[in-house]
């Protein structure tokens, strides 16, 4: 018997126009009435998840943001991991050889060195304005506070993000997790942070076994939780490599894929 459903947001729960279909909304409400835990697990920062959670009545449910680097329940932070300032400095130095936009997320704040198309695009999904500041100033603040970002988002052309991942991942083994959330986006977190670890943390909190959970996602940062779940579901718009890890492939995010998958596996 399924007790929890973990759902990615972009490319999964919401359509390409960032709306939630009526079928998906109604299906989420039915899960709630059956007392099935519904957790949103996203690369978005918490302030980018909360409006969606409010819209579908999940504001008091678990929200795993920043690829699991920050987890909230009842809007209270219950888990948080940060990247060490020394590691950030090394990563920043390595990234200087590439043509990238780098955005840093810490809690409800986010930072970048320059404002451009990509930062403006990300600004559209959150009401909190981005802070534009030289990297040296941001790093000094983190060093003084003995803190760091929960996540770094590296944005470049798809071929370049692949090159960056292939070149840098071996240099930070045991220190950083790196995943593509879409071809141009490389998500970088501490080794403790991933969607898989967020799922494990939450099922431990709620005393639920992995056999009793469904996980639904569409991209490489969802791959581990899809493979881990008792029933892992890939969206129809997912890459073939992600689909290969799933127990079932549903329809696309623009064609009620989440609703169709949940209705298939649960008696709603």
Enumerate the active-site residues.
8
Q: What is the DSSP string of 110-145?
A: EEESS--HHHHHHHTT-SSPPEE--HHHHHHHHHHH
Distance CA 147, CA 135 (A): 15
The candidate with the shortest Cα–Cα distance to 5, out of 225, 248, 247, 197, is 225
The candidate with the shortest Cα–Cα distance to 102, out of 84, 119, 126, is 119
Distance from CA of residue 227 to its chain's centroid?
Answer: 16
The candidate with the shortest Cα–Cα distance to 261, out of 229, 215, 212, is 215
Phi/psi for 267 (5° steps) reads -85, 90
Distance CA 97, CA 92 (A): 10
Name the DSSP class of 10: B
Distance CA 41, CA 35 (A): 19
Lookup: tokens for 220: 């490489």
Distance CA 208, CA 203 (A): 5
């Amino acid at each position: 018997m399924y007790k929890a459903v973990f759902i990615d947001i972009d490319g999964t729960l919401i359509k390409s126009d960032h709306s939630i279909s009526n079928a998906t909304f109604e299906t989420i409400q039915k899960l709630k009435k059956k007392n099935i835990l519904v957790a949103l697990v996203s690369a978005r920062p918490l302030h980018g998840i909360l409006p969606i959670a409010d819209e579908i009545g999940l504001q008091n449910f678990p929200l795993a943001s920043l690829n699991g680097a920050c987890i909230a329940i009842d809007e209270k932070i219950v888990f948080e991991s940060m990247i060490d300032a020394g590691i950030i400095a090394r990563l920043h130095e390595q990234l200087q050889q590439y043509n990238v936009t780098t955005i840093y997320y810490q809690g409800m704040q986010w930072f970048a060195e320059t404002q451009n198309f990509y930062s403006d695009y990300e600004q559209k999904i959150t009401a909190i304005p981005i802070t534009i500041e030289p990297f040296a100033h941001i790093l000094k603040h983190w060093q003084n506070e003995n803190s760091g970002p929960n996540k770094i988002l590296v944005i470049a052309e798809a071929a370049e993000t692949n090159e960056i991942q292939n070149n840098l991942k071996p240099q930070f083994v045991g220190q950083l997790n790196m995943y593509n959330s879409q071809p141009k986006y490389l998500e970088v977190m501490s080794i403790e942070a991933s969607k898989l670890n967020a799922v494990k943390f939450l099922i431990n909190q709620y005393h639920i076994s992995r056999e009793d959970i469904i996980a639904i996602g569409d991209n490489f940062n969802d791959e581990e939780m899809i493979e881990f779940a008792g029933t892992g579901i890939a969206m129809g718009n997912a890459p073939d490599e992600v689909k290969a890890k799933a127990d079932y492939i549903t329809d696309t995010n623009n064609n009620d894929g989440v609703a169709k998958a949940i209705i298939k596996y649960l008696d709603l």
